[in-house]
Chains A and B, each alone.
Chain A
Amino acid sequence: DAKTTQPTSMDCAEGRAANLPCNHSTISGNEYVYWYRQIHSQGPQYIIHGLKNNETNEMASLIITEDRKSSTLILPHATLRDTAVYYCIVRGQTTGANSKLTFGKGITLSVRP
Chain B
Amino acid sequence: GAVVSQHPSRVICKSGTSVKIECRSLDFQATTMFWYRQFPKQSLMLMATSNEGSKATYEQGVEKDKFLINHASLTLSTLTVTSAHPEDSSFYICSARTGYNYGYTFGSGTRLTVV
Contacts and interface: CB of A to CB of B under 8 A. Distances in A.
Nearest to A108: B41
Nearest to B44: A103
A44 B46 contact: no
B32 A99 contact: yes
Q: What does DSSP make chain B's interface, helix, strand, loop or mixed?
A: strand
A43 interface: yes
Given A43-B6, A45-B106, A46-B103, A103 B91 contact: no
Contact of B101 (A38, A49, A87, A97): A49
B91 A104 contact: no
Given A43-B108, A43-B109, A99-B97, A105 B6 contact: no
B17 interface: no
B103 A106 contact: no
A96 interface: yes
Interface residues of A, number: 24
A102 B43 CA distance: 10
A46 B104 contact: yes
A99 B30 CA distance: 13
Interface string B25-59: 00000011010100000011110010100000100
Given A102-B46, A104-B43, 16 more contacts: A32-B102, A43-B4, A43-B93, A44-B95, A46-B104, A46-B105, A49-B101, A49-B103, A93-B102, A96-B32, A97-B51, A99-B97, A100-B34, A101-B34, A101-B46, A101-B95
Interface of B: 4, 6, 31-32, 34, 36, 43-46, 49, 51, 57, 91, 93, 95, 97, 101-109, 111
20 contacts: A41-B91, A41-B111, A43-B6, A43-B93, A43-B95, A43-B106, A43-B109, A44-B44, A44-B93, A45-B106, A49-B102, A49-B103, A87-B43, A93-B102, A96-B51, A97-B57, A99-B97, A100-B34, A103-B46, A105-B43
